[in-house]
Amino acid sequence: DESAIDAQREQEGSHKGLIRVSWRDSRKFDHTAWIDDQRGFVIPYRETRKDGELTATFVATYKHYEEHDIWYVQNGRYERYFPTPMDLYSSWDVYVLDAEFNDPDFSEEVFSIDYPEGTPISDTRSHIKYTAQGGAASEETPDKTNDVLNSSVP
């Protein structure tokens, strides 16, 4: 089921203490991400499988920007496997050499967008569609949201 999300805290192994979140996408790929809620909910490891076979991994290390308590990717490696998990098909590395962060005390008006009347707006994160009306957006068709996103993790 593509809409089901499973979230459990790992009790043992190399990801002990992290939150394991698993889901299946519309192409029948199974995704698992391990989330570190002690470091700003970063994802140090993620893997993708198709029919039980490993197809991709992402491993990242994070750096803490203490002034604003932000964790960001310092470096990471993405690997794709094909046709079997043992055959590395492609990989690429990411290195953040420098980072600059906005002051969190900026005005909310920075994010205020004046859409023309009747503009369709789609929030892909919450799966809700809106229509711009008189400078504001009115909810059009709420879609299902998964309660697991708003629940505590065991």
- Counting residues of the chain whose pLDDT is more than 90, the rounded percentage is 40
Span 135-146, pLDDT tens digits: 555 665 444 444
**Does residue 68 sit in helix, strand or coil?**
helix
**Between vectors from CA 11 to CA 6 and to CA 16, what angle results, nearest 5°?**
95
Model pLDDT, residue 1: 54
**Pairing, β 53-65 against β 120-123:** unpaired
**Pairing, β 88-95 against β 120-123:** unpaired
- Closest Cα to residue 120, out of 128, 135, 131, 136? 131
Instruction: Assess contact for 55 and 82: CB atoms under 8 A.
Output: yes
Residue corresponding to tokens 């309660």: 147
Q: Tell me the pTM.
A: 0.62
DSSP 12: S
Q: What is the mean pLDDT of the chain?
A: 82
Instruction: Assess contact for 42 and 35: CB atoms under 8 A.
Output: yes
Which one is predicted more confidently, 86 or 79? 79
Span 15-57, pLDDT tens digits: 889 999 999 998 899 999 999 999 999 999 999 999 999 999 9
Model pLDDT, residue 20: 94
